[in-house]
Amino acid sequence: MKTMFCPVFRTVYKKKEAKICLLFCALPLFLIVTSLLPTNFMQLSGDAGSMSCMEFFEAVIFVQFQLTLPSIAFMYLAITCIHDEINKGNLYLYKDIPRIKIFLCKSISLLAWYGIYLMSTFFTSVFTYYVYVIKQPYASGVFFPTRLGDVQYIIIGLLGTISTIIVSLLLVVVLSTFLNNGASLIIGILFTLFCSIAPNLETINVIFPTGFLYTYESIGFSKAILFVLLISVIYLCVIGAVGIYKIKRIEF
Amino acid sequence: MSTLKINNLSKKFQTNDFYSLENVNLEINAGDIVGLVGRNGAGKSTLLKLIAKSYIPTSGTIEYNGNNIFNNDYILKDVGIMIEPVFYSYMTVKENLEFYLEVHGKQEFKKNIDDILELVDLSKKKNNKPENFSFGMKQRLSLAIVLVDEPDFLILDEPFVGLDPYGVQELLEILQSWVQERSISMIISSHQLSELESICNRFVMLEDGKMKDIQIEGERSLGQYFTGGKDNK
């Protein structure tokens, strides 16, 4: 697996689609740009001295998630890595390396690229916070929030959003082994949209990793973390089982 | 022992009510250069794709060096497969060859890259991306990828299709020099019968999914065999 990961990862990050995904990391920098323009677009507000750097980062990740565009870009990247390569016959280059190993390598490469995207977003957020946000009245100027409740909110928020993106990426990977690009993308987007409104849905919110954002206080922080992880693992296991079944039967 | 042994191989696609291949038997020994001929839709590509494991057989077995290829992985590690010209168009020629070697854990063949690119006349393009290459150049790149790890067995499906006469001649010369220098086996399908004759030492024909060996006798050409005497090269 180690031998295969590096060359496969190279085939992912050298794609134009991968570079487009990374462009969305620049989102927080737009805050600096829009502050120079006479517009209310992307203007932040809040109680005086309430926003720490990590809260700003969590807000950026949440906005990126709500925008859906970065998710679509990543899903499209997944589709080009899987469906397009099956269609174009690129799998011949792998000869009879176990299919599961090939798709696992591709999935890990996609997740690694998402990890790089997250890291880059973190750095642009920190940069924006200490260059621009810190001068605003709502900024607290500290890196971590001082209130425990705020720290817990950040953790639940980030964990739910990141888990959802990971699940939706793997969902699209598996779907694109047997569905066309449009169908895979639409199902992936619908899943992400359901997850983005999940915190506001009563009862069924518990079946989505993002569903505990407003209710974690009532069930307890540790339990909420456990549920987010458990739900994500269940999704991944189901998607993985379908994936193994389908991937073994691919003909190209 | 045969290098490749196909036993009662059949393939029926789910959407079809007929067999694309039916009870095909074939043995290829070391040093055999087998020309696979037949009309369009006779099942040539289906057979080659089954050998390349991109199709799953309905019944029958394929053994490579005594191992059933569908029961084991990594059996085809020393087989070169060129069913269609495949490469990553957004990576340079050299990166494509390096990728192929790295993904199969065959870094020791990286020393072959320059020689292979010289052989297929792409050495001056090694740092170019193949997205804007001509069809012939794409075919040659694909062949370079296939040959770089010095395979023992080659599967080539219609390697001359889409090439102009000059391109066909070039590709033929590459294959001939490769075959002469090494003791390899090959199965190659093509409609270019005269080109097949210049490289193959044995011919098999597929007709409606069924296979038969062709014995070329005397001065008869492969083209004459098909047309019953009238040369149709």
- ipTM (interface predicted TM): 0.90
The token pair at B196 is: 């097949």
Asked if B54 lies within 8 A of A249 by C-beta distance, the reply is no
Best CA proximity match to B79, nearest among B53, B47, B56: B53
| Whole-angstrom distance, CA of residue A101 vs CA of residue A110 | 14
pLDDT at B121 over 60: yes
Is residue A67 within 8 Å of A189, Cβ to Cβ? no
Residues of A in contact with B105 (CB under 8 A): 3
Asked if A93 lies within 8 A of B103 by C-beta distance, the reply is yes
pLDDT at B142: 94
pLDDT at A159: 95
Which of B103, B110, B131, B146 is the best residue to mutate to test the A interface, defined by the most A CB atoms within 10 Å of its own CB?
A: B103
- Confidence band, pLDDT 50/70/90 cuts, at residue B232: very low
Asked if B86 lies within 8 A of A11 by C-beta distance, the reply is no
Average pLDDT on B24-51 reads 93
Chains A, B: CB contacts within 8 A come to 70
What digits encode the pLDDT tens for the residues A71-104?
999 999 999 999 999 999 999 999 999 999 999 9
- The residue in chain B having the minimum alpha-carbon distance to the alpha carbon of residue A92 is B81
CA distance A2 to chain B (A): 10
Residues of B in contact with A89 (CB under 8 A): 54, 83-84, 86
Helices (H), chain B: 44-51, 93-103, 113-119, 135-147, 165-181, 193-199, 222-227
pLDDT at B225 over 70: no
Q: Tell how strand B79-82 and strand B59-64 pair up.
A: unpaired
Q: Just give the CATH number of B4-227.
A: 3.40.50.300
pLDDT at A39: 77
What digits encode the pLDDT tens for the residues B9-30?
999 999 999 999 999 999 999 8
- For B179: left if phi > 0, alpha if psi spans -120 to 50, otherwise beta; the answer is alpha
CA distance A26 to chain B (A): 24
The token pair at A71 is: 């998710």
Which residue in the set A3, A92, A97 is minimally distant from B54, CB to CB? A92
